[in-house]
Structure 1
Amino acid sequence: MIFGTKLKAERNKMEWSQEELAAKLFVSRQSVSKWENGQNYPSIEVIINISDLFGLTIDELLRSDEELTKKVIRDSKKLAYPRLKLTFDVLFLAGVILLAIKLGVLLLNGITPLDITLLGGKFLWNFGPLVLMVVGGAGSGILKEKYKED
């Protein structure tokens, strides 16, 4: 049985109108209508609420419709994407900041009599920003391509 048919059957068992179900789920009547007609699917949060409302397991709802199962899997992957992307963006930004600090110190040392030394050694300041920017940029690019495919 597909999700829409199951939803409609459960709603009719409870003798609720689409409007009444929509009010209980905090969605529009049109959303309920589209779900029942197979034109659209609810988000995972709404599926959980439907599960609670009708006393069904989420498994019963998801396994009733292959397309809904695929949508939930796609949505869950998209939830992980922003966190991973943020991590790679922070790495890239840290590399840019370290590079800016190094260039600023070099500039100050060149135009003033100051002799500022950077803690951590030349290797860290020469290759650290490069490594951070390459890892951050490459990771972000790989994620972008991966989630474009899904």
Structure 2
Amino acid sequence: MDFGEQIMSIRLENNLTQEQMASKLNVTRQAVSNWEGNRNLPDIEMLITISNVFHLSLDQLILGGENMSNIKEKLIRDGSETRRARLNLISIAVGAALLLFGFILILIKGASVEYIDEAGILHENFFLLPMGFLFIFGGLITFFITGFRHLILKLKNKKI
């Protein structure tokens, strides 16, 4: 039994129409219809809601039959996509921080005053310029690698 058949059997066992089941779950009738037709699968929060409303265990709901691999695959795929999205968000934040810090260092270098003191020693914060460019370069590399990883993943998913 696939997931669509599982949802339909739950609905019929409780003598509900698609509209009635949808109102119990606070979704549209089309959502229930899409689940039953295996056009869409519910997310994990909705699976928990379904199991609570109809007093089923998640194991029974997800693993109900031998051929329920589509929902298991979706849950596994959703988990890996969530981890990937979190990693991308962290990478983007790190890249933005590096860029910002690099620009701040260059601005400080531009606003600072170089002078020669009475002893003839030059006071200049020359190190800010290469450090600023290094941080900007690091931020751009971070963005490039994140985008490249995302592009490769998209291409890999298209082939599969």
TM band (smaller chain): 0.7 to 0.9
CA deviation after TM superposition for structure 1 residue 135, in Å? 5.9
Q: Tell which has more relative contact order, 1 or 2 (C-alpha 8 A, sep 6+).
A: 1
Question: Higher helix share goes to which structure?
Answer: 1
Go from structure 1 to structure 2 and tell me whether the alpha carbon gap of 1:107 and 1:85 turns closer, same or farther (over 3 Å shift). same
Seq. identity, %: 27
- Match of residue 67 from structure 1: 70
Gaps of 5+ in 1: none
- Match of residue 104 from structure 2: 101
Aligned mates of 1:66, 1:55 — CA distance in 2: 22
Q: Tell me, yes or no, if the aligned pair for 1:105 and 1:116 is still in contact at 8 Å.
A: no
- Match of residue 78 from structure 1: 81
Q: How does 1:110-125 map to 2 (within 5 A)?
A: 112=113, 117=125, 125=131
Aligned mates of 1:24, 1:147 — CA distance in 2: 38
CA deviation after TM superposition for structure 1 residue 126, in Å? 5.9
Aligned length: 146
Structure with bigger gyration radius: 2
Go from structure 1 to structure 2 and tell me whether the alpha carbon gap of 1:126 and 1:47 turns closer, same or farther (over 3 Å shift). same
1:136 aligns with 2:142: yes
CA deviation after TM superposition for structure 1 residue 146, in Å? 6.0
Gaps of 5+ in 2: 116-122
Scaled by the length of structure 2, what TM-score is found?
0.72
Aligned mates of 1:21, 1:69 — CA distance in 2: 23
- Structure 1 residue runs of 4 or more that deviate by more than 6 Å after TM superposition: none
Scaled by the length of structure 1, what TM-score is found?
0.76
